[in-house]
Amino acid sequence: MTYTTRKELLQGVHNGDDAAWHVFAEFYKPLMLLRAKDLNLSPSETEELMQDVCVAVFRNDATNRYDPTIGRFRDYLRKIITNCALAIINRRSMLTAPVALEYPDSNALDKQFEEEWRQFIYNKALDELRSKTSPSHYLAFKLYCERGLTVQEVTDTLGISEDLVYQCKTRLTKELKAIVERLTRELDE
């Protein structure tokens, strides 16, 4: 089954649909990886985090399902990801010499998550843009707009005209903004 909206995906997760779980885990994996990096989790702890988040979402969904009237999904998910990561840090400290744990400031973590959320949305938008754009036009856009190559360097590298580089920049920037706005609306509801 293809999930065309986040609501359909969450309904599939709630119904125990294996495909929904896989889509959910893959879709939100980059966000979990960012949080793991923030908190300096090891690769094995990062894998543990991704599993723990899926289990926590399942448990919460079975007992305390996400309610959009209470708050945004990203805040719900942020709490789950952060709590799972802090639990891993706690378990790590129990296995090593007892030390007083210093947890990161929750306000700083929340701010950091907001920045990660924006990056997550942007990366998802880039993926979508790439999937519906010709490879050469997308590459021209990436080289010129993101990597900062000059128009001449892009034309020399790709063998395209300067006009085409400018057209790719204008058209794909506009499309990217529209995708970011749509994803922000869809994922923030």
CATH number at residue 137: 1.10.10
Residue 116 lies in a domain: no
Query: pLDDT tens-digit profile of 34-81?
Result: 889 888 899 999 999 998 988 888 776 544 566 777 778 888 888 889
Q: Are 84 and 53 in contact (CB under 8 A)?
A: yes
What pLDDT is stored for residue 135 in this prediction? 94
- Are residue 88 and residue 138 in the same domain, yes or no? no
DSSP 3-state of 83 = helix
Query: In this structure, what token pair is assigned to residue 152?
Result: 């001449």
CA distance 189 to 104: 28
- Are residue 90 and residue 179 in the same domain, yes or no? no
3-state helix, strand, coil in the chain (%, to 5): 80, 0, 20
- Are residue 97 and residue 11 in the same domain, yes or no? yes
Instruction: Please state the domain count of the chain.
Output: 2
- Are residue 93 and residue 145 in the same domain, yes or no? no
Q: Among all chains, which residue has been given the structure tokens 């920037």?
A: 173
pTM score:
0.75
